[in-house]
Amino acid sequence: MARYLPDVGATNAAELEKAWRERQEPWQRQRLLVVRLVAQHELNAEQIVAAAGVARSTVFRYLDTFLTSGLAGLLAREHKGGHPPTLGAADQAAFLEQLRLGEFRRAKEAQAWIKARTQRTLALSSVYSLLGKVGGVLKVPRKTHAKKDAAAAESFKATLAEKLAALSAKAEGRALRLWVLDEHRYGLLPVIRRCWSLKGVRVHVPYATRYLWGYLHEALEVDGQNKVELLFTPAIDQDIHATFLRQIADSDPTAWHVIIADQAGFHLQADDTRLPANIRLLPLPPYSPELNPVEKLGDLVKDAICNQLFTALRPLEDAILAELEPLRQSGARVAELIGQGWLLEQANAGCVGTGFLDTRQSLIRRLKG
């Protein structure tokens, strides 16, 4: 049998109107709206449901609460409290640190850590849920050499601005252009990478063992014009590296070009006579490829040629060039690879008052700073 809306009485209606004019939380205001509409006797239950955006059962629940417990009961939330958190604040902070360090290879290891830390045994499904809630993702770690000196890497980042400022002071008014440089090997041995497909379908890609290689030399300009210089060579040694440095030097003969690169054996030293006169070198600490944003370009190359079978180097090089063409045409794309991190900050800090990277882009950053 359908329920009808009763008369709540003039006193209750006045109390509702008074409360309506006061400041309330949104959930309290919705409850007041429902019971107030009932008290006004202008709408039936279905119309109140439509006006307040609640279910019919909710209308009568709010009304019953008001009639039995008054306005105070209507505006009180019956919160009984939720389940206690899986991890307390300190345990969650420690759990996040373990995730940041990549200490869990599997969810089972996270499960064991939680048990050792809290004496609670969680089901694996609960562990997966917890990992998702705190932002955990399964990813392939980046290799770092056991001989890497972390302190030297941090020191390079912290002192780069000083080194750039010192070079700028010696430039005698000449513009300085900062580059990051590296090389990547490519070849006819296919690169296999993941691809999209359907569930239950195993994808096959052509493969053949062919040992023929080439080398791509690349340099990206940090800030400034964000230019890119590329060179394909069949081999790599110091003479070839000197040729690539000459290419960079000749791109702007009037400027000093500061080159950040690793200390590979085929890279020239600062006192090498083959070094162009307008080139200055800033070697990276050993085993620190993460400091060089040009490393990202290697992923672009592999993405362009993966899961394909090439029978000659020329088509392979054409595919690489096609992938890198946006970098050659747009400095904005190069800037995306460089990023907005420590390198750009140090470059701009090192250029203040020295004329370093004196372009519209860096000038805008200085004015904003």
> What would the 3-class secondary structure string for 295-353 be?
HHHHHHHHHHHCCCCCCCHHHHHHHHHHHHHHHHHCHHHHHHHHCCCHHHHHHHHHHCC
Strand partners, 185: 215
Q: What is the pLDDT of residue 359?
A: 41
Measure the CA–CA gap between 339 and 326, rounded to whole angstroms: 16
Confidence at residue 217, expressed as pLDDT on a 0 to 100 scale = 96
DSSP sequence for 20-42: HTS---HHHHHHHHHHHHHHHTS
Whole-number pLDDT of residue 362: 42
Structure tokens that stand for 350 in this block: 């090192």
User: How far apart, in whole angstroms, are the C-alpha atoms of residue 335 and residue 337?
Assistant: 5
pLDDT of the residue at 111: 94
Please check whether residue 107 is in contact with residue 124, taking contact to mean a CB–CB distance below 8 angstroms: yes
Alpha helices in the chain (DSSP H): 10-20, 26-40, 45-52, 56-74, 89-100, 107-118, 124-133, 150-169, 238-250, 296-305, 313-329, 331-338, 342-351, 360-368
Low-confidence ranges of the chain (pLDDT < 50): 1, 352-369
pTM above 0.75, yes or no: no
The HSE-up count of residue 162 (CA atoms within 13 Å, CB side) is 5
Strands of the sheet containing 256-261, edge to edge, are 228-233, 213-221, 176-187, 256-261, 279-283
- If you search the block for the tokens 């009639």, which residue do you land on? 67
- Phi, psi (degrees; rounded to nearest 5) at 261: -155, 165
What is the distance between the alpha carbons of residues 110 and 112, in angstroms, rounded to a whole number? 5
pLDDT of residue 351: 62
Give the pLDDT score at 11. Answer: 84
Residues 133-151, buried b or exposed e (16+ Cβ, 10 A)?
eeebeeeeeeeeeeeeeee
Give the alpha-carbon dihedral of 11, 13, 19, 24, to 10 degrees.
Answer: 150
pLDDT of residue 9: 85
